[in-house]
Amino acid sequence: MRRLALRILSFSFLPFLTGCYSLGNYRLGKDQDQYSTSIIESNKKQTLMNLIRLRYADTPGLLDTTQLISGYQLQRSAFVGVASDTFPIRPNGGLAAQLQESPTFTFQPVTGDAYAHSFLRPLPPATLLPLAMGGLPIDVLLRLSIQSINMMSNNRPFSRNKGDIDDHIDPNIDNFFELIYDLRQLQAAGLLGIQLQQTSDPSGKSLPTNHVYLSIASTTDPTLLGVVKKTRELLNFSPKYDRMEVVYGVGEPRPGEIKILSRSMLSILGQVAYQIQVPDDEVTSGSTTSHVDVPVHHEDRSLITVHSSHDDPKQAFVSVYYDNYYYWIDKRDFESKLAFTITQMLFELSKTSQTPGALVTIPVSK
């Protein structure tokens, strides 16, 4: 009977020792959600940190996650024995299992041409305007990414000082903000059209060229008739054309064209960074300059409101720690979150593929 009991006990461990346990199907969805969330949060912190660095005249930087490997190892063991020095002889045994997780992250600093491309190259209109086709509010998009449209400037007073060379020049700022406000109304009403067209060189010697066109549909709605008329006037929209081509440039456009001077990511981040309110002691210590005066007009206010405190924020959409202060965007501030998210999208559009340079691989063991 004892031999039979030992055999039964031994066989009961066989499934544990030899069974096939699949971790992949179980971990796939959970790992995908967790790592996706971690990468998104990391990118948000990196963008906010670059804003704060620019506010302090510090160097912005990028570190891209190029590879993520998550490995798992399941170790199982079992033992069965008998104690021969006891009477009656009793079998004994045990089970043991250990799950090891060993993720590896590979980062690549953005340097050289890729750094210049990401930060210094103006975003082309053919890349910017199609974002409005996907539903992004065109007024927020243009306020962030555009320096001027035709002769209408987005160069707000906070970046122009008394005594500057262009201090006496009227940049038609009010017309710019009236235009983007009207464009937003037309977008919401479905009267604003943006078409992207690609032309190829028949010889195949050059890369395809993207052209972007803007059109404004007619309407019988009495509340929108004035908006359509005013927008067409501001854009010099001739009745001869069903649509106008949007081209990169500054100054008076040619017939059938709308000139847009777009910003680089460094300029986009700088415009936001200059308006971040910093603590007074950071100014008196010389770490940064004084913040701009509190704007009187709504359009002079920053699209992204960044708060600062010595205490770790509890209601933060994203927060970073810099120079003994926490800086954060309140998660209840929808307008700031929207503008910040659009800024991140523009950051992704500004990136380019780069040749492998210095790689930083960090294995993590648990």
Terminal CA-CA length for the chain: 45
Residue (of 345, 339, 331, 344) closest to 49 by Cα position: 344
Using DSSP, state whether 253 is helix, strand or coil. Answer: coil
Dihedral sign (CA 150, 152, 157, 162): positive
> For residue 39, what are its two tokens?
């990468």
Distance of alpha carbon 156 from alpha carbon 300, whole angstroms? 7
For tokens 């700031």, the residue is 336
Strands (E), the chain: 63-82, 91-109, 146-149, 152-153, 192-199, 209-216, 244-248, 257-262, 307-309, 316-322, 325-330, 360-363
pLDDT(256) > 80: yes
Q: What are phi and psi of 233, to 5 degrees?
A: -65, -45
Query: What is the pLDDT, as a whole number, of residue 93?
Result: 64
Predicted local distance difference test score (pLDDT) of residue 13: 46
* 209 or 139, which is more confident: 139
Q: What mean pLDDT comes out for the span 336-346?
A: 94
| Beta-bridge mates of residue 104 | 69, 363
Residue 225 in this model has a pLDDT that exceeds 90: yes
Question: Mean pLDDT, to the nearest integer, of 187-198?
Answer: 91
pTM across the whole model: 0.76
Average pLDDT over residues 175-196: 93
No. of helices (H) and no. of strands (E), the chain: 11, 12
pLDDT at 14: 46
Range with the lowest mean pLDDT among 114-123, 140-149, 274-283, 296-305?
296-305
For range 291-301, the mean pLDDT: 58
The tens digit of pLDDT for each residue in 20-52 reads: 455 556 666 666 677 778 888 888 999 999 999
Tell me the range of 93-102, 161-170, 195-204, 264-273 where mean pLDDT is highest: 264-273
Beta-carbon count within 10 A of 64 CB? 15
In this prediction, residues 47-74 reach a mean pLDDT of 80
- What is the structure's pLDDT at 81? 64
Question: Residue 206's pLDDT is what?
Answer: 59
Q: What is the mean pLDDT of residues 260-278?
A: 91
Whether pLDDT at 8 is above 70: no
For residue 292, name the pLDDT band (cuts at 50, 70, 90). low
Predicted confidence at residue 224, as pLDDT, reads 94
Rounded-to-integer distance, Cα 26 and Cα 117, Å: 41
Alpha carbon distance 247, 126 (integer Å): 8
Question: How would you classify residue 263: left for phi > 0, otherwise alpha for psi between -120 and 50, otherwise beta?
Answer: beta
**pLDDT exceeds cutoff 80 at 332:** yes
Average pLDDT, the chain: 79
pLDDT of residue 120: 87
